[in-house]
Amino acid sequence: MDMPMPLPSPEVHPPAAARAGWWDGDPQESGFVATLISTRQNVSPKRLVEPGPSEQQLEQLFRAAAAAPDHGLLRPWRFVIVPMERRADLAEVFALALVDRDPGATLEQIESAREKAHRAPLLMLVVAQLGAVEAQIPALERMVSVGCAVQNMLLMAHGQGLGSSLTSGQAMQSPRMRRLFDLREGEEPVCFLNVGTVARRKTQRMHPEPQDFVSMLRRESGER
């Protein structure tokens, strides 16, 4: 007879806890989490080279996305990988979207727009599903879920020793982009997520101080 798997004790090593499906946290490990979060940085696709994530790492990235907080369990995101053999099609959309916006764009500008599709080893479109699948959950909340899913992936890539970045721009709003990715009603292209090996790192930016964005709800005037 199969014995049930024993649950790990709270101080068990995180990988064992991940296999068991729960973890109570561990003050010893919070330093690692803080380091992972505070040292992640946007690595421009120009600085992302081969090798990209392995099959196993790619699966870890998507499982990280799947663990994002998700009110109503709508899974209001999806990702569309652009393989190397389709990069030329994306390049064409970048180029034509530029010409649509600026018919006077120079050949150099058009070439530079085109070139953006060919950079990172792994490039995928982040799509938000904001349409009325479940009207109870506002689009704003769904966007938070999408952001959390993306951040989980960025952190996972960083933890894997890879670099990552988000890229967007005016081409995101082009109908050509919607057509290439076959976006449905209620879906919005958010940005591209790029992953690869870091060729060159820039210096870490200064993060804002908590005092600049945290406040305490004041006592109501008249309250003693």
Ligand X SMILES: Cc1cc2nc3c(=O)[nH]c(=O)nc-3n(C[C@H](O)[C@H](O)[C@H](O)COP(=O)(O)O)c2cc1C
Straight-line distance from the first to the last Cα atom of the chain, in angstroms, rounded to the nearest whole number: 65
> What is d(CA 87, CA 120) in angstroms, rounded to the nearest whole number?
11
Which of 140, 205, 213, 216 contacts ligand X by CB under 6 A?
205
Q: Where are the alpha helices (DSSP H) in the chain?
A: 14-20, 27-39, 55-66, 87-101, 107-115, 139-159, 175-180
Residue 42 sits in the site that holds ligand X (CB under 6 A): yes
Q: Does 173 engage in binding with ligand X (CB under 6 A)?
A: no
Shortest distance in whole angstroms from residue 168 CB to ligand X: 4
User: What does the alpha-carbon distance between residue 191 and residue 165 come to, in Å, rounded to a whole number?
Assistant: 10
Q: Cβ closer to ligand X: 124 or 190?
A: 190
Q: How far apart are CA 80 and CA 65, in angstroms?
A: 13
Cα 147 to its chain centre, rounded Å, is: 7
Shortest CB 192 distance to ligand X, Å: 8
Contacts with ligand X in 50-89 (CB under 6 A)? none
Question: Amino acid identity, residue 144?
Answer: V
Selected from 168, 170, 199, 201, the binder of ligand X by CB under 6 A is: 168
Of the residues 12, 96, 166, 198, which one makes contact with ligand X according to CB under 6 A: 166
Q: Which stretch binds ligand X (CB under 6 A): 87-95, 104-112, 162-170, 210-218?
A: 162-170
Specify the residue, 23 or 176, whose C-beta has the smaller distance to ligand X: 176
